[in-house]
């Protein structure tokens, strides 16, 4: 029962923080819009039927039944058709695509009241439009920055220590997939020398090893050489003799991750191998490390978004086939909730682990919202930003050529594409929902 309650609590935390993140995203749009004089008629978290709402001034604030997004409604999002006066409502045309554009203009015009002619979004300057539309994603970036900052400064990041976590029984090739030692596999040097889990490596070859990188460098550099190492065991220091074995091991990058070739095989090099793995501990980082850490997380998320079509194919292969879900791939809201539940309920997690993992999960979710909303396609915020920048470019070209100001970009013409993108996004959400149910990413293995 306790595990069920903890699981439920983890899911509820995600729901509450996600709703708050969406609400703050929309506030990021609303505050500058009102500051610039645009009339904002609605601020809503969720879609579908309204569960609660309250009008304050000229804006209705509310919560809707489907908590999968949010929106604010600004009047005059779409300018009238070229040549039409503000508030003009055209008759429907016979073209399906043209009708979509005219319907959007009709709804936009119907929201206007007498005196609203200069309180419409489309009359804002290009810089102000960009500020309004970037306000939402920027709010998610700020939330992600704060949550991830609390995680790495207040709790820390996993760091390898000089205490041995495990000792290999034998030496296997880096390219081998075997999980057990064979009769012909040589014994691991550390095992042969008597190194035990829990030992802290104090020095190697007479050189102090305060950090794990010092241990690793010494092992790799002393292949085939009998070397004395000092380990601390149960408060006493012992001197052992080890001879690192020259073997092919994976090349590691700056983040201690194996470097892969294009065919997903390891890039290897001949180095010394001892057969020990370090324990990890959480080490708080300085405040100055937060910007770099957030930038790195943002860059990684952008890489996933850039490869989104391929990632979604992988999700489909896992959902409808036998492929495994990529733990670093795309995950839906249900999957995020499931991970939060597992973080809160799995007994192997300490309280510190739970807090750090939850902060990382929620901070990463906001970074993902920031990056995803910058995609320059309608109806995402990046699409509106792209439209505003196109408008600014047109005006500058007209000014340089001595032509009449072409006016605001008629983004209503993009409504067919907008609907197509919206349908695609709904389809992606449905696929992720299905995959998160039938083939979830799990911490249970």
Domain 159-283: which CATH number of 3.40.1030.10, 2.60.40.1940, 2.30.42.10, 2.40.30.130: 2.30.42.10
Q: Quickly state the pLDDT bin for 53 (edges 50, 70, 90).
A: very high
DSSP string of 394-431, one letter each residue: HHHHHHHTTPPP--S--GGGGHHHHHHHHHHHHHHHHH
Q: Quickly state the pLDDT bin for 173 (edges 50, 70, 90).
A: low
Q: Quickly state the pLDDT bin for 95 (edges 50, 70, 90).
A: low
Using the predicted structure, report yes or no on whether residue 234 has a pLDDT greater than 70. Answer: yes
Phi-psi group of 259: left, alpha or beta (phi > 0 → left; psi -120 to 50 → alpha; rest → beta): beta
Structure tokens at 142: 């700020």
Mean pLDDT of the chain: 87
Q: Which residues 6+ apart lie within 8 Å of 117 measured at CB?
A: 86, 87
Phi-psi group of 275: left, alpha or beta (phi > 0 → left; psi -120 to 50 → alpha; rest → beta): left
Q: Quickly state the pLDDT bin for 441 (edges 50, 70, 90).
A: confident
For residue 200, the surrounding DSSP H or E stretch is: strand 200-204
Distance CA 176, CA 264 (A): 14
96-105, 150-159, 234-243, 406-415: the lowest-pLDDT one:
96-105
Using the predicted structure, report yes or no on whether residue 91 has a pLDDT greater than 80. Answer: no
Q: What is the pTM of this model?
A: 0.85
The DSSP bridge partners found for residue 239 are 230
Quote the pLDDT of residue 264: 67
Q: Could you tell me which residue, 262 or 316, shows the higher pLDDT?
A: 316
**Would you give the distance in Å from CA 129 to the centre of its chain?**
26
Using the predicted structure, report yes or no on whether residue 125 has a pLDDT greater than 90. Answer: yes
Quote the pLDDT of residue 347: 84
Using the predicted structure, report yes or no on whether residue 330 has a pLDDT greater than 60. Answer: yes
Distance CA 360, CA 336 (A): 12
Q: Among 43-47, 99-103, 117-121, 296-300, which range has the highest average pLDDT?
A: 296-300
* Mean predicted confidence (pLDDT) in 292-317: 92
Using the predicted structure, report yes or no on whether residue 286 has a pLDDT greater than 60. Answer: yes
Length of the chain: 445
Q: Percent of the chain at pLDDT above 70?
A: 92
Q: Could you tell me which residue, 223 or 229, shows the higher pLDDT?
A: 229
Domain spans of the chain?
Answer: 124-156+285-445, 159-283
Q: For 386-395, which contacts have Cβ atoms below 8 Å and span 24 or more sequence positions?
A: 387/411, 387/414, 388/126, 388/129, 388/130, 388/133, 389/126, 389/130, 391/126, 391/129, 392/126, 395/126
* Mean predicted confidence (pLDDT) in 318-331: 86
Using the predicted structure, report yes or no on whether residue 224 has a pLDDT greater than 90. Answer: no
Quote the pLDDT of residue 349: 84
> How many helices and strands, by DSSP H and E, does the chain display?
11, 10
* Mean predicted confidence (pLDDT) in 384-394: 93
Quote the pLDDT of residue 84: 53
Distance CA 41, CA 56 (A): 10
Q: Could you tell me which residue, 411 or 364, shows the higher pLDDT?
A: 364
The catalytic site residues sit at 26
Using the predicted structure, report yes or no on whether residue 90 has a pLDDT greater than 70. Answer: no
Quote the pLDDT of residue 443: 81
For residue 158, the surrounding DSSP H or E stretch is: strand 157-167
Cα dihedral across residues 427, 142, 293, 346: positive or negative? negative
């Amino acid at each position: 029962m306790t595990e069920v309650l903890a699981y439920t609590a983890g899911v509820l935390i995600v729901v509450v923080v996600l709703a708050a993140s969406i609400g703050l995203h929309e506030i990021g749009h609303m505050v500058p819009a009102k500051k610039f004089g645009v009339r904002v008629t609605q601020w809503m978290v969720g879609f579908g039927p309204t569960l609660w709402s309250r009008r304050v001034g000229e804006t209705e604030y509310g919560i809707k039944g489907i908590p999968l997004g949010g929106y604010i409604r600004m009047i005059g999002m779409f300018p009238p058709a070229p040549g039409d006066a503000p508030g003009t409502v055209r008759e429907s045309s016979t073209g399906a695509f043209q009708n979509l554009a005219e319907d959007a203009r009709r709804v936009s015009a119907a929201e206007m009241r007498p005196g609203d002619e200069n309180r419409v979004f489309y009359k804002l300057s290009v810089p102000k439009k960009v500020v309004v539309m970037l306000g939402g994603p920027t709010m998610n970036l700020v939330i992600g920055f704060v949550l991830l900052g609390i995680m790495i400064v207040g709790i820390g990041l996993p760091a390898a220590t000089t205490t041995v976590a495990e000792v290999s029984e034998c030496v296997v090739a880096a390219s081998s997939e075997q999980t057990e030692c064979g009769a012909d596999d040589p014994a691991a040097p550390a095992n042969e020398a008597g190194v035990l889990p829990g030992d802290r490596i104090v020095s190697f070859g007479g050189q102090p090893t305060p950090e794990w990188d010092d241990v690793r460098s010494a092992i790799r550099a002393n292949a085939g050489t009998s070397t004395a190492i000092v380990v601390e065991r149960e408060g006493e220091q012992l001197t052992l003799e080890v001879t690192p074995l020259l073997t092919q091991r994976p090349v590691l990058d700056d983040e201690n991750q194996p470097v892969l070739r294009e065919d997903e095989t390891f890039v290897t090099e001949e180095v010394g191998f001892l057969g020990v793995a370090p324990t990890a501990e959480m080490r708080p980082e300085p405040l100055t490390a937060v910007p770099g850490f957030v930038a790195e997380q943002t860059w990684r998320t952008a890489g996933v978004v850039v490869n989104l079509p391929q990632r979604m194919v992988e999700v489909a292969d896992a959902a409808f086939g036998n492929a495994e879900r990529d733990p670093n791939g795309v995950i839906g809201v249900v999957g995020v909730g499931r991970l939060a539940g597992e973080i809160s309920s799995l007994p192997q997690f300490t309280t510190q682990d739970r807090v750090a993992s939850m902060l990382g999960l929620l901070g990463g979710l906001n970074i993902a919202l920031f990056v995803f909303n910058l995609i320059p396609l309608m109806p995402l915020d990046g699409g509106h930003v792209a439209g505003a920048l196109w408008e600014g470019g047109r005006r500058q070209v007209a000014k340089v050529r001595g032509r009449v100001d072409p006016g605001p970009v008629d983004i209503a013409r993009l409504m067919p594409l907008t609907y197509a993108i919206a349908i695609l996004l709904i389809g992606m959400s449905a696929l992720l929902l299905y995959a998160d149910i039938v083939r979830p990413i799990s911490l249970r293995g």
